[in-house]
Amino acid sequence: MTIRVPVVEKIMSANDRIASQNRARLDNARIYSMNLMASPGGGKTSLIELTIKNLAELLRLAVIDGDVATSIDADRAASAGAVAVQINTGGECHLDAVMLQSALRQIELDEIDLLIVENVGNLICPASFKLGTHKNVLISSIPEGDDKPYKYPGMYRGVDALVINKIDLLPYVPFDMDYFRRGVEVLNPGLLTFPLSCSTQEGLDSWISWVLQQTQSNRII
Amino acid sequence: MTIRVPVVEKIMSANDRIASQNRARLDNARIYSMNLMASPGGGKTSLIELTIKNLAELLRLAVIDGDVATSIDADRAASAGAVAVQINTGGECHLDAVMLQSALRQIELDEIDLLIVENVGNLICPASFKLGTHKNVLISSIPEGDDKPYKYPGMYRGVDALVINKIDLLPYVPFDMDYFRRGVEVLNPGLLTFPLSCSTQEGLDSWISWVLQQTQSNRII
């Protein structure tokens, strides 16, 4: 451990330094940005598609998609009407600030109001790597089960908002919402939550209004 | 990279060496073992519970549960009737051979026929770390979506069997089974698959029979 810890600390402090630079670039361009995290299949790409479709007439959107492989997600974001950049991490299980820095160079930042970064599908490692975005948003998904806050506490602790996706599946799977919410409350008291379904679009309006309001406030300040 | 690659290689070769020692210990004790991997909420613990309940009269079972936090999974396995050991990895996003080595010391190996190792919920990192088990088994889950083989190829490439869980949710979510299976076939031709539902228990018999047959063959050899 005496060897390992300083190395880890150096990596994290280098990452944080570049994350600060990313934030400065985003602020200079008056871009509001969020880092969207979830398990594989939690619904990140579907939520991004719907966000683009609902806000494309009001905001200029960019999406940066992190995946181990393929450009499936960036292609979906581009089809929905956003500027889209794909990052393929190879084997890496999370995005880091350097990857975001490189991706930002591929976007005309002055032409963007809202940037959504879709992190790699993973409930553990993305929590440890700041990117420099303004908000960290986690998507939980009903069929994943109600014990996830208890089992992946690091992720729930560090986020600014929580989307509870696939609520249309509540009748078909065992999920105790009270137990789930108690776990969230212990880790992140008062956390803003958006229960919704990307399939039926129930609850979507609150999410869209929040994203719009946050982005507009950012441009007024 | 010239600094980083040798370090990574050393870690992996140390891991592989200990994985071989784990295998030798398991073989000496005539234990058949599998490493069960999936996304968070894919159904690892539910499948383990059902496997224990169906085989507890025929086999002596042990479960080693890897989680970032809590002993929820090991408690469930113990309640179902198995010897259960919990590994809390702290922040680590996967099990490695050293963790399994430590956990094996807590089990009376001569009293066990079948060991199921439940890896940390993650579709990326567990694929890179051999544990020394006889079979690697992946659980996919219908609500995760049909694009997972394309997006997490490393995991699908390295496994000996694939459980396709939550088939009872097929009527309620978009999932193109042909697209999914084509992705699997490219990465892992002829892979043995078990479509089933831990909820309704449809398809469970084939899985149970296979596990029993594998374990009994191991004891006869």
Average the pLDDT over A70-93 and give the result: 93
Give the pLDDT score at B28: 96
Closest approach of chain B CAs to the CA of A6, in angstroms? 15
**B47-69 residue pLDDT tens:** 999 999 999 999 999 999 999 98
Phi, psi of B135 (to 5 degrees): -135, 140
Q: How far is CA B119 from CA A82, A170, B123, B126, B133, in A?
A: 37, 27, 10, 7, 12
- In this prediction the ipTM stands at 0.90
Q: How many CA atoms lie within 13 A of B79 on its CB side?
A: 10
Q: What is the mean pLDDT of chain B?
A: 94
**B5, pLDDT greater than 70:** no
- Strand intervals (E) in chain A: 32-38, 61-67, 83-88, 114-118, 135-141, 161-165, 192-195
Query: What residues of B are in the A interface, CB distance below 8 Å?
Result: 39-41, 67-70, 72-73, 91, 93, 120-125, 128, 141, 143-145, 147-148, 150-154, 166, 168-169, 172-174, 199
- Give residue B219's pLDDT band: very low, low, confident or very high (50, 70, 90): confident
- The token duo for A16 is 């944080």
**A12-34 residue pLDDT tens:** 889 999 999 999 999 999 999 99
**B154-188 residue pLDDT tens:** 999 989 999 999 999 999 999 999 999 999 999 99
Give the pLDDT score at A3: 45
Average the pLDDT over A161-189 and give the result: 98
Dihedral of CA atoms A32, A38, A41, A44 in degrees, nearest 10, equals: -10
Picking from A124, A141, A144, the nearest residue to B93 by CB comes out as: A124
Integer Cα distance of B201 and B217 in angstroms: 25
Integer Cα distance of B218 and B113 in angstroms: 9
- Give residue A10's pLDDT band: very low, low, confident or very high (50, 70, 90): confident
Can you give the residue range of the structural domain that contains A133? 4-220
Give the pLDDT score at B3: 44
- Give residue B7's pLDDT band: very low, low, confident or very high (50, 70, 90): low
Domain count, chain B: 1
Select the more confidently predicted residue: A179 or A128. Answer: A179
Choose from A123, A165, A186 for mutation: most chain B CBs within 10 A: A123
- Give residue B197's pLDDT band: very low, low, confident or very high (50, 70, 90): very high
Integer Cα distance of B52 and B215 in angstroms: 13
Query: What residues of A are in the B interface, CB distance below 8 Å?
Result: 39-41, 67-70, 72-73, 91, 93, 120-125, 128, 141, 143-145, 147-148, 150-154, 166, 168-169, 172-174, 199
Pairing of strands B61-67, A192-195: unpaired
Phi, psi of A60 (to 5 degrees): -95, 115
**A87, pLDDT greater than 80:** yes
- Give residue A219's pLDDT band: very low, low, confident or very high (50, 70, 90): confident
Residues of A with Cβ-Cβ distance to B150 under 8 angstroms: 69-70, 72
**A11, pLDDT greater than 90:** no
- Give residue B44's pLDDT band: very low, low, confident or very high (50, 70, 90): very high
Give the pLDDT score at A6: 63
Q: How far is CA B20 from CA A144, B68, B92, B130, B131, in A?
A: 34, 25, 22, 9, 8
Residue pair B93/B120 in contact by the 8 Å Cβ criterion: yes
**A221, pLDDT greater than 70:** no
Dihedral of CA atoms A93, A95, A96, A99 in degrees, nearest 10, equals: 120
CA B203 to chain centre: 18
Identify the CATH number of the domain in which residue A27 sits: 3.40.50.300
Integer Cα distance of A20 and B125 in angstroms: 28
